[in-house]
Amino acid sequence: MSGSASFIAVDWGTTNRRIFRFDGGAVAHTEHDDRGAASVTDFAGEVAAIRERFGDLPMLLAGMVGSTVGWRVVPYVAALAGVDDLVAGLGWIDDRTAIVPGVSCSKNGRGDVMRGEEVQLLGAVAGWMVPPDALLAQPGTHCKWATMTGGRIAGFTTAMTGELFALLRGHSLLAGSLTADVTDSEAFREGLAEGARRDLAASLFGIRAASVLGLRDDADAASFASGVLIGADVAARMDDCAFEQVHILADAALGDLYAAAVAATGREPVIVDSHSAFARGILAIGDKAL
Amino acid sequence: MSGSASFIAVDWGTTNRRIFRFDGGAVAHTEHDDRGAASVTDFAGEVAAIRERFGDLPMLLAGMVGSTVGWRVVPYVAALAGVDDLVAGLGWIDDRTAIVPGVSCSKNGRGDVMRGEEVQLLGAVAGWMVPPDALLAQPGTHCKWATMTGGRIAGFTTAMTGELFALLRGHSLLAGSLTADVTDSEAFREGLAEGARRDLAASLFGIRAASVLGLRDDADAASFASGVLIGADVAARMDDCAFEQVHILADAALGDLYAAAVAATGREPVIVDSHSAFARGILAIGDKAL
């Protein structure tokens, strides 16, 4: 592809997807819906329907569509992984439809995996939104923390911070206390400090004890609990962090909470638009692959 | 009561209870059933039924029967708390039926609470099973770690270690991998070492990654996960621990897992029978109260 060609990209997660049409190296149109990989069985039919709506164009699919819950399992590319490595690892369905591989890494016998986040990471660098050597955080159900070296993904750690919060809110002894919205409040900041002690199981029971003893308003419990979880996540990542800046790829609300947590550790948070990063990343891949 | 009198004691938790009849300072009979406080509405009727079966004797009730899910809310006694303090705080239903109060503590603005465990703790000292200055662990859904000073409860920390494991096994992304029994296996020991890093959210996602990458047999995942949670709990408690021994009050299976975790930190674990400790504790209270 010359960089001016047109194609369709799908950021296809487990529960949601975002579809982009690119014309001449820019996003011409984008749509978001809830037809995630886990709810789709006829992927060929879905792709045909997307082409009917967005144009009969080459397609790149990224994310969980390449996993066991998706269309076809595309093997992970091992870190160090840059754009060229992802292009070499594309899983071709036919000669104009390919799935972007995820990335794996391994350090000291501990392995980790990502699918979908790699496009944002490489796009953030390709689009000059972050330096080629940087630490990036992608908060969410499973928060990814990736180190970029020379513009490639060098290694990463996933923390199930968002999932733990959902488990506590949905099913734990604390569920009844965690119904309020999470805000960057004084309770959230107190939670960050508590989380930095990295004693999660005790800090979380402390929410119950504070409620029973009347030490904290139950309306503040959700923000405090989120602060504990995010504070523990961020504190663990700062242990051996050589970077003064932490770049955060997230939607506004969650990005602000992580930014506050990063700032509390004395580092400088920098928010990066995750949709722009994905677009730049998939453009870089399309430029070499299509 | 002279120490030779007879009475009935109930260790009445949320989901289970154990009933003891004491004659002459010894357990004459004991029974266990699942009529926990949360499943009972007519406590007066239950107590009458117990007296019909066990004898028309004075009764001491301990545990969640004194909480909001129980018969009557009996205020916590603040630490330092010894046998005399619990006797002074008894919640009398009538002149021969009393509920033992729970204990609260507060340090650096962090509060904690217990109901039921205090009887075991004081009984372990009263029965010479542990020294009057000691660190005791009571593993379970909510693991209590109590420091005894001069035979009284000086302070304690609760970690929701068991509840986190149940949440992960029941409702998380890892649920499908955590079906096996937990054993003190090599995987459990590896989990302890991982847990000691005190980076719970990342260590837990690592279980998923190891499964996806084929780095660990799924049959070992439950033991590893339990090791991570118990390892993190124990490591946090050893931070400022002045004791060479850790006394563990638990059933055999869970006690052995915590003993292995304590030993892994270089401390000496000592297992104490929790039912004997409860019996000695409630006898000490009955001796002064009835």
- pLDDT tens column, B78-120: 999 999 999 999 999 999 999 999 999 998 889 999 999 999 9
Q: Do domains B7-129+279-289 and B159-272 have the same CATH topology?
A: yes
- Assigned CATH for B7-129+279-289: 3.30.420.300
Cα–Cα distances in angstroms (integers) from residue B160 to residues A235, B69, B163, B230, B263, in the given order: 21, 19, 5, 10, 21
Identity of the residue in B158, B163, B167 whose CB atom sits nearest the CB atom of A209: B158
Residue A3 has pLDDT above 60, yes or no: no
As a whole number, mean pLDDT of residues A57-78 equals 97
Q: Which fold, A7-129+276-289?
A: Nucleotidyltransferase; domain 5 (3.30.420)
- Tell me: the pLDDT tens digits for B2-57? 455 799 999 999 999 999 999 988 999 999 999 999 999 999 999 999 999 999 99
Looking at the DSSP bridge assignments, the partners of residue B18 are B11, B32
- Chain A residue with minimum CA distance to B76: A213
The residue extents of the domains of chain B are 7-129+279-289, 159-272
**Gap between the Cα atoms of A100 and B70, Å rounded:** 57
- Tell me: the pLDDT tens digits for A221-277? 999 999 999 999 999 999 889 999 999 999 888 999 999 999 999 999 999 999 999
pLDDT value, residue B109: 80
Identity of the residue in B104, B113, B201 whose CB atom sits nearest the CB atom of A164: B201
Tell me the shortest Cα–Cα distance from B112 to chain A, in angstroms: 5
**Gap between the Cα atoms of A186 and A220, Å rounded:** 9
- Complex ipTM value: 0.94
Chain B residues near residue A202 by CB distance under 8 angstroms: 157-160, 233, 236
- Average per-residue pLDDT in chain A? 95
pLDDT value, residue B2: 46
Identity of the residue in B171, B202, B204 whose CB atom sits nearest the CB atom of A171: B171
In chain B, % of residues over pLDDT 90: 93
Residue A2 has pLDDT above 50, yes or no: no
At which residue do the structure tokens 């949360």 appear?
B38
Under 8 Å between Cβ of A80 and A149: yes
CATH class as words, domain B159-272: alpha beta
Chain B residues near residue A200 by CB distance under 8 angstroms: 164, 200-201, 232
Under 8 Å between Cβ of B35 and B18: no
Cβ of A201 within 8 Å of Cβ of B164? The answer is yes
**Gap between the Cα atoms of B159 and B140, Å rounded:** 9
Under 8 Å between Cβ of B274 and B120: yes
